[in-house]
Structure 1
Amino acid sequence: MQVNLHDAKTNLSRYVEQALDGDEVVIARAGKPLVKLVPVDSTPRRRQLGFMRNQGIATADVKGDFIDDINAMFS
């Protein structure tokens, strides 16, 4: 559906609802299409787990290297 700019300003809520329902809504000025109302994709992107797997090796003995600091925190 193509609507003129003035009509779109007056009835924006209605056209947004129609776009959310899957209708194509094109806003035009003097019959020339300017923009298209489309829903924003709200599906969250999935994180890719393990993409840095085996890229680094931690060799520190955290408990052994910081035992005095750890004991001081709980004393």
Structure 2
Amino acid sequence: MTRLVKIGEAKTHLSALLADVEAGEDLVICRGSQPIAHVTRIDRAQEVTELRETMRRERSRQQSVTTSEILSWRHEGHKR
């Protein structure tokens, strides 16, 4: 759903309007009756998917770690 908002209203209620955008509503900011800007939510799902793929790709390049290596790290940096 797209909502038309005049500049004055946008300036006065910016925080509330951005909360509506985060909830999925699109805004068109108008000067008088002339639309000048379209405000819409950024789709973070695509960013998360890309990050997940990058992490998996980088992890697949790493050597496997053995249990003995993990156990040797347990006390690394501790005084003995």
TM above 0.5: yes
Q: Which runs of 5+ in 2 are unaligned?
A: 58-80
Q: Distance in 2 between matches of 1:41 and 1:12?
A: 20
Determine if the alignment matches structure 1 residue 9 to structure 2 residue 5. no
Determine if the alignment matches structure 1 residue 39 to structure 2 residue 41. yes
Structure 1 stretches of at least 4 aligned residues deviating more than 6 Å after TM superposition: none
Partner of residue 66, structure 2: none
Identity of aligned residues (%): 24
Q: Distance in 2 between matches of 1:18 and 1:36?
A: 14
Q: Distance in 1 between matches of 2:25 and 2:44?
A: 17
Code of the residue aligned with 2:39 in structure 1: it is: L
Partner of residue 30, structure 1: 32
State the secondary structure of the residue aligned to 1:35: strand
Instruction: Say which structure is richer in helix.
Output: 2
Q: Distance in 1 between matches of 2:37 and 2:5?
A: 10
Partner of residue 64, structure 1: none
Tell me by how many angstroms 1:42 deviates.
Answer: 2.3
Partner of residue 23, structure 2: 21
Code of the residue aligned with 2:43 in structure 1: it is: D
TM-score (norm 1): 0.56
Counting matched residue pairs gives 50
